[in-house]
Amino acid sequence: MAGLRAAIAAVEENPRITVGLVSKLYPLRSHSVSAEGGTSAVLNPKDSLDLHSFDTIKGSDYLADQDAVEHFVSIVPEQIYTTDHWGCPWSRNDDGTISQRDFGGLSFPRATFAADKTGFHVMQTLFGRCQKYDNIHFYNEFFATSIITSGNSFNGLTTINLQNGDFVVFQGRTIIFSAGGAGRLYQFSTYASSVTGDGDAIAYRAGIPLKDMEFVQFHPTGLIPSGILITEAARAEGGYLRNSEGKRFMEKYAPTKLEEAPRDIVSRAMMWEILAGRGIKGKHGDHPYIYLDLRHIADKLEERLPMITDIAKKFNNIDPAEEMIPVRPATHYTMGGIDVNVDTETGIPGIFGAGENVSISIHGANRLGSNSTNECLAYGNVAGIRAARWASSHSIPDLDVLKASQEETRIWDDVLNRDGDESVSGIRDELRTGMDLNVGVLKTGSELENQVKNIRNLKERYKGISIPDKSHVFNLQLQWAMELGFMLDLAEIITIGAMMRKESRGAHYRNDFPQRDDANFLKHTITKYTKDGPQFSYRPVVITKWKPAERVY
């Protein structure tokens, strides 16, 4: 989503430039189409930018940079109106105004939505808009493997054309990273299988720092057993969570907001209920789960939650108007990402980033639901404009042929030709199972230490993988192997960062350090690549006018 928005912004900023959209997928297969519930924006005169800012900062457990948040909320509303004018079918009130619903952690109902298919409709709108411009070119099914930098600036993007196996280097004046998150490091996840953190890992290996990677969000309602997302809108519209005793339990954990508390709070509450023996065990899976009850809002399902109804019927043979839905917290979002500033700039001139691929930071330790698609729109627009201005005043550098040749050799002569005893799928499954077990909603220092050891062992075993398919054309075995390499790098960063952060903040909860520690950890984690492994440092959080306070709902 951020990439499409950036492309449009770039060519509208400067109609003379040419934009290439490079993706390992057809654009409308991007995981952004799965976004369901809504996108927050201050549209109602009774709402305010300060209120949206405060909700976001409080939701972040005060780890968000407050100058970035204030900028963010100020530029979001125009994106709603812009996409509306481009044809996005936002749901409407009876008077014709754009409808908005409540969402977890919001103090005002500002989540703009298109039924429960928000991402799908926004993506269709942006993709359609791109077709208007002859100078936006799509390079679909090109798998990115690295970026080349030379003289502290962007030099090229190396890729494999999956359709014919050609090694292709894209050159340009500038590049925007908008490759999404890294949630498929985990087994039980709401993400598409394509979301393997490629963009984060490619940037990291090129020397661009990552920020706050230990903050991984778990969505409370992943459908059992598939992990498919059951939108937060289901609770915002009045859905209940019930334990094995049939009781609602959120009053114990968030007495004011109940099921509409932020995702980290609801996810922990569900896990505590399960650990207390009040999870449900039954036909829907081996692990205990919680029920989501929508029966009392059956009259809203067709209009407000049609996709959820369809998903429950198709995947679990459940009619949510008559039966409860089995759910459990599932990996859903990575708050961390490539370190960029409020202008979407990295530390390397001419390299920008937007969307879940980056950390500005506006989400801090916990993203509020409905604050992701708006980020893609708002900062996709900023990145496109900034990149266009950069391209207008810079030339395309001469290709660093040596570095390009080294990457081509690495792919075809090293990775593809590995013929050891280890399987890519076996290592990948062990990685994901270990992340679920040791780096989940609730974690301890000993679990994290064990997982660091596991990951380092898996990285050694990765050197001995086998890729039976030696062809070049649509070699998905090669793609999966390279994705696994990216995931191993990121898993190591996430786990060590979580081990070093000896506190609980937002989505990062340590059973052995259950309190937030502002004295020692009101700071961002910055990770840089070295040949000896990730190097960690810290940076202060920017505070403008909201001092850290106890976070209750």
What whole-number distance in Å separates Cα of residue 70 and Cα of residue 515? Answer: 27
* Residue 540 CA: distances (Å) to CA of 205, 353, 493, 517, 545: 24, 21, 19, 14, 15
Catalytic member of 110, 219, 263, 501: 219
Query: Residue 176 in contact with residue 11, Cβ under 8 Å?
Result: no
DSSP for 20-71 reads: EEEESS-GGGSGGGG--S-EE---STTS-HHHHHHHHHHHTTT-S-HHHHHH
Active site residue 551: no
**Annotation marks residue 328 as catalytic:** no
Distance CA(448)–CA(381), nearest Å, equals 38
Beta-ladder partners of 21? 138
- The one catalytic residue in 52, 121, 235, 516 is 235
| Pair of tokens at residue 251 | 């009053």
Which residue from 460, 464, 467 is spatially nearest to 416, judged by alpha carbons? 467
Distance CA 523, CA 398 (A): 39
DSSP string of 89-150? ---B-TTSSBPEE--TT-SS--EE-STT-HHHHHHHHHHHHHTT-TTEEEEETEEEEEEEE-
Residues with a catalytic annotation lie at 219, 235
